Amino acid sequence: MTEPLRLGIAGLGTVGTGVVKIVRQKANLLAARAGRPVVISAISARTRDKDRGVSLSDYAWEDDPVALATRDDVDLFIELMGGSDGPAKAATEAAIAAGKDVVTANKAMLAHHGQALAAAAESAGRVLRYEAAVAGGIPVIKALTEGLAGNDITRVMGVMNGTCNYILTRMQSAGLPYDEVFEEANQLGYLEADPTLDVGGIDAGHKLALLASIAFGTQVDFDSVELEGIEKVTIADIRHAADMGYRIKLLGVAQMTGRGLEQRMSPCLVPADSPLGQLEGGTNMVVLEGDMVEQIVLRGPGAGEGPTASAVMGDVMDIARGCRLSTFGAPAAGLQQARPARAATPAPFYLRMSLDDKPGALAKVAAVLGEAGISIDRMRQYRHDDTIAPVLIVTHKTTRNALDGALDAMSRLDVMGETPVALRIETV
């Protein structure tokens, strides 16, 4: 009989419990598809006696995840604890040093330490896989490393944080302000313990950095991702965008240009009738563009027990079958550090501002834009009180650098009621 693949699982939260359930409930299916049994040897978590809705009595327990990672009866270490450093990183490094393969769902750890961990794993002849770290149940890592391996990838784009998409689409459908929907999402348990990881774009930025590394054959460089969260998006922005045929999404975009690697995660306007514009609730979507395949759209649940555990098991099954790939699609030792570049591709922008309601205010704004070489495509002024006039401007295509120069000049005008909000209008 073929030897079983023996798992050690560290972290028994939502995802870890889901993995245990799959291994227990689908043992025959997994064995048939892998050509060998897949079993759990030992587990570890912060709390031993918690009721997780599944029996754990068949497995050895380790209080220390590092001890779990180095057990003789563990072939594959599954890290589901989370956190960029601390026990997750220590246990992953220990597993690699002990000759174990590793599967993780930890995007933060990989975004910050992925290059070093990949180099360590590959030099030791080990495999480090992380399908569950990006876009939940969507097999986007596999698509890039395997299905699209014959393509030069030209652009990676997507909605990669279900919480932000829930907040923005809920504001749209219910006509509710940001603060109210944020609190609703918090009550539903959608937000991280530190909400800025979600609404600040950090969680999605981690994912974008991983996809960019695979797509463009570079070292992971999260520090160069331009991050802007959704905190400044108002219900007025949602309504104005809808009036013009757009939806607002927290959109990640990565592309290699002659200037270097652009990586940005920011709220953007996208056409309402596009696949991204129609994306509702907590669903994720990743758009991959290659020179041979043109455009592929992958859509699915971005979080949750079943979808994320499914992604973990996809990696487990690859290892059980003997599929051994480089962590980022090419040997880590050959990956170069990309030159970071700020987005220079021209695009139209949406500008929302409040001006003092006095003669010449709008002319001053138009003059600043003109001096920056930015022309106005559309402009609307909405009902207002006696002192402040809300104004909406859509520019023709311009660069972000030119726009930032104009915004800086506007801040020095004596007619601005508040700092303008500027959102890119993205072609998808």
Domain stops at, among 286, 302, 318: 302
Q: How many other CB atoms sit within 10 Å of the CB of residue 325?
A: 17
- Would you say residue 355 lies in a domain? yes
**227 closest CA partner among 75, 111, 83:** 111
In a 13 Å sphere around the CA of 81, the CA atoms on its Cβ side amount to 27
Residues in the chain: 428
- Which pLDDT score, from 0 to 100, does residue 157 have? 96
Q: Summarize pLDDT for 221-265 with one digit per residue, the tens.
A: 999 999 999 999 999 999 999 998 999 999 999 999 989 999 999
Tell me the CATH number at 262: 3.30.360.10
Query: Looking at 111-125, 154-168, 249-263, 383-397, which range is the least confident one?
Result: 383-397
Cα torsion for 415, 419, 423, 424, to the nearest 10°?
70
* Distance set, CA 378 to CA 233, 267, 369, 384, 418 (Å): 20, 20, 13, 19, 21
Close Cβ partners of 336 (under 8 Å, ≥ 6 residues apart): 217, 218, 219
- The verdict on 169 and 66 lying in the same domain is no
Active-site pick, 21, 207, 358, 397: 207
Average pLDDT, the chain: 94
Residues 6+ apart with CB under 8 A from 68: 8, 10, 42, 43, 44, 62, 74, 77, 91
Look at the pTM and tell me if it is higher than 0.95. Answer: no
Is 364 annotated in the active site? no
- Asked if residue 96 and residue 154 are part of one domain, the reply reads no
Q: Which residue has the higher pLDDT, 417 or 39?
A: 39
Domain membership of residue 218 as a residue range: 140-302
The rounded Cα 111 to chain-centroid distance in angstroms is 11
Asked if residue 295 and residue 148 are part of one domain, the reply reads yes
For 107-111, 285-289, 383-387, which range has the lowest pLDDT when averaged over its residues? 383-387
Q: Are residues 35 and 162 in the same domain?
A: no
**How does pLDDT run across 353-403, given as a tens digit for each residue?**
888 878 888 899 999 999 999 999 988 887 666 678 888 999 999 999 999
Residue at 140: amino acid letter: V
- Asked if residue 309 is part of any domain, the answer here is no
Q: Is residue 111 part of a domain?
A: no
What Rg value do the Cα atoms of the chain yield, rounded?
Answer: 24
Both 189 and 271 in a single domain?
yes
| Residue 175 domain-assigned (yes or no) | yes
- What confidence tens digit (pLDDT) does each residue in 88-100 have? 999 999 999 999 9
Residue 406: name the closest of 357, 398, 345 by CA.
398
Number of domains in the chain: 3
Q: Do 95 and 144 fall into the same domain?
A: no
The CA distance from 173 to 151, in Å, is 38
Position 235 in a domain: yes
Which pLDDT tens digit goes with each residue over 296-351?
Answer: 999 999 888 999 999 999 999 999 999 999 999 999 999 999 999 987 789 999 99
Does residue 58 have a pLDDT over 90?
yes
Sole residue written with tokens 């940001």: 178
